Amino acid sequence: MGDAQVPEETPTILVVEDEVLVRSATSNYLRACGFNVLEAANAEEALETILADRQVRLVFADIRLPGAHSGLDLVRIIRGSHPNLKLLLYFVFILAKLLFNLIVSYRSMLYFAKLIYQLN
């Protein structure tokens, strides 16, 4: 008998963005790429989501967030409580330009990857 292949778990990404249209466009694009996506409008919502959902594998957050904590604060808090969780921070004006480019061509993914800062 052949080996049965178990499908890999679909990664869950948490999108943290206060601008509703940017958050929606980003989340819709990631869903179209096959990811499970959760959304948060600020760092406080993001932290609640991470605590409630152990399936989150990546937090994709704007550096500038409203409320008591910025995106950088969110990174510091997550690093202390969930050191294995992957984090990507971005500036919304860069993301808006990149989303437009992604609609035009998948080749812009290389451009997208170069502009996003990954914190380890």
User: What span, in angstroms and rounded, lies between the C-alpha atoms of 92 and 39?
Assistant: 15
Q: How many angstroms separate the CA atoms of 28 and 40, rounded?
A: 14
* Amino acid at residue number 38: L
* pLDDT score at 41: 96
Task: Give the integer Cα–Cα distance in Å for 3 and 75.
Answer: 41
Burial 63-96, CB ≥16 within 10 A → b, else e? ebbeeebbbeebbeebeeebeeebbebbebeebb
Domains and CATH numbers, the chain: 12-119 (3.40.50.2300)
Residue 101 has pLDDT above 80, yes or no: no
pTM reported for the whole predicted model: 0.71
18-72 pLDDT, tens per residue? 989 889 989 999 999 889 999 999 999 999 999 997 789 999 998 888 889 988 8
